[in-house]
Structure 1
Amino acid sequence: MNLVLQPDQKADVVARAEAQFAEGAYEDALNSFLSAASLDSMDLTARTNAAVCLERLGRWTEAADLLQQTLETHPASPEALMGLAICYLHLENPGKALEALEPLYAATPVPGRARFAKAVALQLLSRFEEAIEEYREILTSEPDSAEVLANLVAIGMATAQEPLTREYSERLISLQPESTSAIRGLAACALWRQDYEEASRHCGSLVELVPEDTNAWFNLGISLLRSHHPLEAAKAFLEAMRLRCDKAQAAAVIAPALRQCGALEDARACCEQGLSEQPGNTPLAMVLAGVLEEAGDAETAAQQYTKVLMVQPENTEAWFRLGCLRLAQEDPRTAFEAFQSAVRLRPEWLEALLNLALSSWRAGDLEEARQYYGEAVRLHPGSLEAVRGLAGIAIELRRYDEALDLHGRLIDLGDSSAELYFNTGLLLDKTGQREDAVRLYREALALNSQFSEALLNLGHVLKALGREDEARAVWLQAAHSDSCSVDSVQPLRSGAVFDRLS
């Protein structure tokens, strides 16, 4: 709001107030205008100008109170209403600002300042479509209003409207080539389109103009990482980390990004820096454990997961990762305990159930492994891995009829690998179903014509059936590859560790 000149310039107090205001001495000008208002309780101009001084001093609540008092005696004062609306906007009360502006909309035409203030209030209330309409109305008479264009860019970014953001960013940058609002908008558009090369150019321009902008550095890192420039990306992420005051919160975001860049040492240092500020930050401790795990420091990673679990024993992810590490270290019993804790907390977690079964299997407890694979199948009937596990256990227990049924179930579930058909053929052969064994070996060979073990075993079955000419033909084909006859059924991928989380 601007100063309103007194119609009567004779009063020394008013002249002094106006001079003080012009010099920027707003506190002195405030006292002088209040003195003038005290001499005449109906002096609208003195009160309004005192409110302007309060606004310049950032004392928005006091300014609003004074303008409210002014409106009690002058309810239709445009200056008081406009000033009150501005105060409410600064006080983050856009609803009250709209109420103050409502009388001004009765004028024809609507004052431009009132329309802009209303658009800002609507924007703060997230009534974006109405705000856009008001801003566009302003642009019909002020097409080069940088402030309006910047606010439209902000709405476009807040609502992820790429065409809107691009349109007004391009208009704004044509007026102000170094407009940070326009550059941010263009960078956002490029990121939405996944044009990371262009995004990195805009973000690079932004950090040159505003080198302390943490978000710009972070977005630059993302753009460089996804446009396959990991070293430059890591530098950008580290700069974002350096600028952030809240190191722990920043590290929780930046360390995983550094990890994606392959900068594991930097990611570790980033986590440790954050944890030195907030030792009890469990999410960050989990990030550090993951970084250590990826760097190959399995034992330190396991210790880190154990520390997390001491503070947060219900952390299922920590139990799961600890189990995976112990299983990889060939410690199946400790792994079993970790996976058992994960399953106790999340009984239907498929990957944890599968790894729990695998831990039992590797510890030599086949019946226990069978129990957990069975539970996985009960809860997830369509799980190929669970059925494979049961089939593998059945084979080790020499329950070939059961294993054969399970292999048939795998086929029904859509597993059509050459290895599965080969295993099924072996099982059929062992249970005396040789004609069916021939059919399954041929299914395997249809998928992999150079599957030498299938060729050799097919020859053996054909010979046993008295079809020696066919047997010699397939053996001749097998002779062109290094192979040996397979006389035991091999479980299909039943020993895989499932290290993904769900």
Structure 2
Amino acid sequence: MELNDWNDAERRAERAAELFEQRKWSEALRELQFAVTVNPYNAAWLFNLGLTLDELGRGAEAVKAYRQALELEPEDTATLQRLGAALQRLGQPGNALECFERLAAAHPDLEPAYCPQIACHVELGDHERAEECFYLARQLVEHCPACYFHIGCSLLARGNWDRAIYCFRQTYELQPLHPQVAMKLAEAYRRKGEPERARRWYLARLRQAPLDTAALLELARLLIEMGRLDDAAERIASAAQISPQDPGVHFARGLLLLRRGLHADAIDALQRVLHLDPTYPAAHLRLGEIRLAMRQVIEARTHLRSEVLRQPQDPQTLKDLANLLIDTGETRSAVACLRRLTAMRPDDVHAWQNLAVALLLRGQLEDGMAACRRALDIHPGYPPVVFNLGLALAQAGRFNEAARLVASVRAGAPHHADLDLLALRIRVLRWRARLARLFERLLGLR
């Protein structure tokens, strides 16, 4: 390699930096590619190459450049941060976490080493470690909007609505223009059962970004849930003007048509969704719901099984899917969905209650009763669970246990109609068992 080539590489690397500042990334990329070809041992140039590729949306190539830079300078702070962030964007939280852990080991007093770890742990479902990293980060920077946001996502995933809302509000106060926090606040209020507050936060996001189709469509879905169908139709039409081929537009239209009872039109809209994106979340679920409403059980099962194979992660989708699977007699798949849901939401009494029902329908009395008891640990005396547990105990011939359960709950709710019905059912089952034993003895005497 001649000296002129080295000098030319230096000049072109400097020129690349100028072009990068001017946001002329394609031109900057050409200059940097020449420079690193001449000198592949300059870590700064490789880092800048990664930055440029990142800006061009070429994440996998950016990761390669950052890794090459790290081979030359293994503990460089900026490179570890950028590599970790690039891996996160590529959906590789485990690999990203390794980068941030290396950064924390090399620089234990650096808050940005801990903040992104929270997001990685949330994506990996390790919420306990997410909280640990949150408190480590707060020891270095007490009020970081990103830390509050990430831990808010963890709390939202676990169904801790109030704490999630608190954290998202902290993010909003610290960084009002955060691009995702208004949507997360809307989601949290929606899941908590406060649709009007959720609606206001979707509108807040649309004031920030009027062309955000995701916000328009989520608002439309909320309005459908609220029964404001004409308003929902307007939002869907707005989203369709912005992005007519977005499968989410057709999905929202399908939900609207379903709510209006137009089953054939809803099926057409949802089939269009699957044509555009065969893996679109909950499309098969809603088609299954429609087919079941039309008493087309075989077709409903086909769609529901397709949704199961997609392995949904959204808690509400899992809950709705499990209920429909139970209605179509697919209790084995329902149990699988509900076990996944209870693992995600271990404190969700309704998830444990539904799991108990699915298990009892399958004749798995002991497992069903265990799920009932777990639900009662969360919500003592919850009548639907008490009823199911008492009935299961009676069916298992454990009548005294069933009677004690009724008596213990009745002490706190003496006039509850369900308890009276349960007590009657237990007495009937006890007498039926006694009569069966009596007939067995009589037949034995003969």
Report the TM-score, using the length of structure 2 for normalisation. 0.52
Q: Name which of 232, 236, 241 aligns with 1:274.
A: 236
2:33 corresponds to 1:68: yes
Query: In structure 2, the residue corresponding to 1:278 is in which secondary structure?
Result: helix
User: Match for residue 440 of structure 2?
Assistant: none
8 Å CA contact 1:212–1:243 kept in 2: the answer is yes
- Deviation of the 1:184 alpha carbon: 0.8
In structure 2, distance between residues paired with 1:313 and 1:111: 50
- Deviation of the 1:198 alpha carbon: 0.9
User: Match for residue 329 of structure 1?
Assistant: none
In structure 2, distance between residues paired with 1:225 and 1:114: 39
8 Å CA contact 1:305–1:318 kept in 2: the answer is no
Give percent identity, aligned residues only.
16
Task: Show CA shifts across 1:47-93 (max 9, x none).
Answer: 33222212222233322322332344434334333333333343344
8 Å CA contact 1:252–1:283 kept in 2: the answer is no
User: Match for residue 56 of structure 1?
Assistant: 21
2:137 corresponds to 1:181: no
User: Match for residue 425 of structure 2?
Assistant: 447
- Return closer, same or farther for 1:144/1:226 CA change in 2, 3 Å cut-off: same
Output aligned runs, 1:22-421, within 5 Å: 42-43=6-7, 44-97=9-62, 99-100=64-65, 104-105=69-70, 107=72, 110-213=75-178, 215-227=180-192, 229-240=194-205, 245-246=210-211, 249-258=214-223, 260=225, 263-265=226-228, 268-275=230-237, 278=240, 281-291=249-259, 301-302=260-261, 304-305=262-263, 308=266, 342=296
Query: In structure 2, the residue corresponding to 1:65 is in which secondary structure?
Result: helix
- Deviation of the 1:181 alpha carbon: 1.0
Query: In structure 1, the residue corresponding to 2:41 is in which secondary structure?
Result: coil
Say which one has the larger Rg: 1
Query: In structure 1, the residue corresponding to 2:23 is in which secondary structure?
Result: coil
- Return closer, same or farther for 1:149/1:71 CA change in 2, 3 Å cut-off: same
In structure 1, distance between residues paired with 2:146 and 2:162: 20
Query: In structure 2, the residue corresponding to 1:181 is in which secondary structure?
Result: helix
In structure 1, distance between residues paired with 2:251 and 2:71: 55
- Return closer, same or farther for 1:41/1:245 CA change in 2, 3 Å cut-off: same
Aligned residue pair count: 302
Q: Which runs of 5+ in 2 are unaligned?
A: 273-282, 305-327, 332-362, 366-390, 392-421, 429-446
In structure 2, distance between residues paired with 1:380 and 1:74: 66
- Deviation of the 1:114 alpha carbon: 4.2
Task: Show CA shifts across 1:436-485 (max 9, x none).
Answer: xxxxxxxx9963989xxxxxxxxxxxxxxxxxxxxxxxxxxxxxxxxxxx
- Deviation of the 1:99 alpha carbon: 4.6
2:231 counterpart letter in structure 1: A
Task: Show CA shifts across 1:173-204 (max 9, x none).
Answer: 44444422111112112223322111111122
In structure 2, distance between residues paired with 1:101 and 1:289: 49
Task: Show CA shifts across 1:281-313 (max 9, x none).
Answer: 54333333455xxxxxxxxx34x5465468789
In structure 1, distance between residues paired with 2:68 and 2:235: 56
In structure 1, distance between residues paired with 2:6 and 2:291: 77
Per mean C-alpha deviation after superposition, the further-off stretch among 313-322 and 209-218 is: 313-322
In structure 1, distance between residues paired with 2:188 and 2:214: 21
Query: In structure 2, the residue corresponding to 1:182 is in which secondary structure?
Result: helix
- Return closer, same or farther for 1:285/1:128 CA change in 2, 3 Å cut-off: closer
1:271 counterpart letter in structure 2: A
User: Match for residue 439 of structure 1?
Assistant: none
Query: In structure 2, the residue corresponding to 1:264 is in which secondary structure?
Result: coil
8 Å CA contact 2:81–2:100 kept in 1: the answer is yes
- Return closer, same or farther for 1:287/1:46 CA change in 2, 3 Å cut-off: same
8 Å CA contact 1:251–1:270 kept in 2: the answer is no
The RMSD of aligned alpha carbons is 4.9
User: Match for residue 410 of structure 2?
Assistant: none
In structure 1, distance between residues paired with 2:210 and 2:114: 31
Output aligned runs, 1:423-434, within 5 Å: none
Per mean C-alpha deviation after superposition, the further-off stretch among 67-76 and 304-313 is: 304-313
- Return closer, same or farther for 1:318/1:88 CA change in 2, 3 Å cut-off: closer
8 Å CA contact 2:220–2:236 kept in 1: the answer is no
Query: In structure 1, the residue corresponding to 2:104 is in which secondary structure?
Result: helix
Q: Which runs of 5+ in 1 are unaligned?
A: 1-38, 292-300, 325-337, 351-378, 383-411, 418-443, 451-502
User: Match for residue 25 of structure 1?
Assistant: none
8 Å CA contact 1:255–1:268 kept in 2: the answer is no
- Return closer, same or farther for 1:74/1:180 CA change in 2, 3 Å cut-off: same
**Which structure carries more helix by proportion?**
2
In structure 1, distance between residues paired with 2:95 and 2:271: 50
